[in-house]
């Protein structure tokens, strides 16, 4: 039973992988947008930070679910 708990927690933590990829793509696109239109830098930065915060929230949710699986199933 403990191996199934570990597998479930590992799968829940994989949400961090998607968040990392998403933040990386968003940062790259923001750099491209700033290079194309330097005068829109403040708007681009504001939107980038908001998007990164939302993407990071999904990773935190996955981590919390993994901890809940470990703690509550035992």
pLDDT in tens, 1-17: 678 888 888 888 888 88
Q: What is the mean pLDDT of residues 14-25?
A: 88
- Third-level CATH fold of 2-73: F1FO ATP Synthase (1.20.20)
**51 Cβ neighbours under 8 A, 6+ residues apart:** 23, 26
pLDDT at 1: 63
Tokens, residue 24: 């990386």
Tokens, residue 20: 């990392």
Report pLDDT digits (tens) over 34-69: 999 999 999 999 999 998 998 889 889 988 888 888
User: Among all chains, which residue has been given the structure tokens 């005068």?
Assistant: 39
Look at residues 68, 63, 67 and name the one whose alpha carbon lies nearest to residue 18. 63
Q: Euclidean distance between the first and final Cα of the chain, in Å?
A: 9
pLDDT at 41: 92
Is the confidence at residue 74, as pLDDT, over 70? no
pTM for the full predicted model: 0.73
Domain ranges of the chain: 2-73
């Amino acid at each position: 039973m403990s191996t199934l708990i570990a597998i479930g927690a590992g799968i829940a933590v994989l949400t961090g992988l998607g968040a990392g990829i998403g933040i990386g793509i968003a940062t790259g696109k923001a750099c491209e947008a700033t290079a194309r239109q330097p005068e829109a830098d403040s708007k681009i930065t504001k939107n980038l930070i908001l998007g990164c915060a939302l993407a990071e929230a999904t990773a935190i949710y996955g981590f919390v679910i993994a901890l809940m699986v470990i703690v509550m199933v035992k």
